[in-house]
């Protein structure tokens, strides 16, 4: 943890606050992102700290303690690097069926480890986040495009994970919503910040205040997802659409894709003039690359480019 690594008194203070936050999770049933009781300026409860004391069921039930001892921790997150024509696509499959894919300390640790590894892997072009538990999606700042495939329930933290992805696709039968106010807490994994950016402030407030759950068609109507599909007998319609999208991304220049994502994300947080300056700086990073020259040569020779991410 960063607190443990910080030197001197500041590091000790941060470490102490982290331990206090973990203890308060159990004592006062705090949700992720909450502040310590009696303080509006105290340390927030990080999701990883919150998970140590409580795991909230994706179906919206009350917080509960602990995890089953019969589940192998290494199976909670499955990382698959696809091959053949799908080479460059990575699938992160969440697999905690007994807990409806609710977050655990181990799952958060595995997700963090996977994200760190994928950030530095230049062979990775697109990442799909999906559930490997039928009927449930639960739940990242990654430099490559990320797609959330929602084939079932995405409530609370599950939707927050989907909101952290660049693109969201869902089956019409999927259910999604930020339902934390039903538990007398608020979304603490980025929901109060990302949902307004996705669908607008007024509608985001309405959905959070009401804890309303939307199906795929309703989510598409408000702009929460990009594509809605009729569910298939296999129960993976959203995943198949996500895979189709990922295949569309594969032929493009990998450096350009990463820089385009950076320009969009950074530009959305500033005014237009500053955003245009960010775009100019990002564009300049693509000019000296070998991929740009390969793109021009391939266009001239009327062939498909062979990009190497250089």
- 270 vs 278: CA distance, rounded Å: 10
Return mean pLDDT, the chain: 78
Contact 108, 47 (CB under 8 A): yes
The pLDDT, as a whole number, for residue 102 is 58
What does the pLDDT read at residue 31? 46
Non-local CB neighbours of 261 within 8 Å, separated by 6+ positions: 143, 144, 145, 166
Residue 18 has what pLDDT?
Answer: 45
pLDDT band at 100 (very low <50, low <70, confident <90, very high): low
Angle of helix 201-210 versus helix 191-199 axis, rounded to 10 = 130
The residues annotated with a catalytic role in the active site are 160, 180
Report how far apart, in Å, the C-alpha atoms of 44 and of each of 35, 63, 66, 288 are.
Answer: 4, 18, 22, 43
Report the C-alpha dihedral over residues 5, 114, 214, 231, rounded to 10 degrees.
Answer: -170
pLDDT at 20 over 60: no
CB atoms within 10 A of CB 19: 12
33, two tokens: 């992102």
Distances (CA, A) of 148 to 46, 66, 84, 138, 163: 23, 27, 22, 10, 8
CB 170, CB 225: distance < 8 Å = yes
Residue 42 pLDDT exceeds 60:
no
pTM beyond 0.75, yes or no: no
Q: Average pLDDT, stretch 11-36?
A: 42
Q: Which of 35-44, 64-73, 124-133, 243-252 has the highest mean pLDDT?
A: 243-252
Q: Look at residue 26 in the predicted model and tell me its pLDDT.
A: 37
Q: What is the pLDDT of residue 77?
A: 85
For residue 191, pLDDT over 80 is answered with yes
Both tokens of 91, joined, read 């699938």
- Structure confidence at residue 221 (pLDDT): 97
How does pLDDT run across 64-86, given as a tens digit for each residue? 333 334 546 667 888 999 988 89
């Amino acid at each position: 943890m960063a607190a443990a690594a910080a030197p001197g008194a500041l590091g000790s203070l941060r470490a102490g606050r982290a331990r206090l936050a973990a203890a308060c999770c159990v004592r006062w049933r705090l949700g992720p992102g909450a502040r310590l009781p009696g303080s509006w300026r105290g340390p927030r409860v990080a999701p990883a700290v919150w998970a140590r004391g409580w795991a909230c069921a994706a179906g919206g039930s009350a917080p509960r303690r602990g995890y089953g001892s019969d589940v192998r921790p290494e199976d909670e997150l499955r990382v698959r690097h696809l091959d053949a024509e799908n080479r460059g696509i990575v699938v992160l499959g969440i697999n905690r069926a007994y807990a409806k894919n609710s977050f655990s300390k181990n799952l958060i640790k595995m997700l963090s480890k996977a994200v760190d590894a994928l950030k530095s892997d230049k062979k990775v072009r697109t990442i799909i986040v999906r559930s490997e538990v039928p009927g449930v999606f639960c739940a990242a700042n990654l430099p490559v495009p990320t797609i959330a495939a929602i084939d079932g329930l995405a409530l609370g933290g599950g939707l927050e994970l989907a909101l952290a992805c660049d693109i969201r696709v869902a089956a019409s039968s999927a259910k999604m919503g930020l339902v934390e106010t039903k538990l007398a807490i608020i979304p603490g994994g980025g929901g109060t910040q990302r949902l307004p950016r996705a669908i607008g402030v007024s509608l985001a407030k309405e959905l959070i205040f009401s804890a309303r759950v939307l199906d795929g068609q309703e989510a598409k109507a408000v702009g929460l997802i990009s594509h809605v599909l009729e569910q298939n007998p296999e129960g993976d319609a959203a995943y198949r659409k996500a895979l189709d999208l990922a295949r569309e991304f594969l032929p493009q220049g990998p450096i350009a894709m990463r820089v385009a994502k950076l320009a969009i994300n950074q530009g959305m947080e500033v005014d237009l003039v500053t955003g245009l300056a960010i775009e100019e700086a990002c564009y300049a990073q693509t000019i000296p690359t070998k991929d740009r020259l390969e793109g021009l040569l391939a266009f001239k020779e009327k062939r498909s480019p062979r990009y190497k991410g250089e």
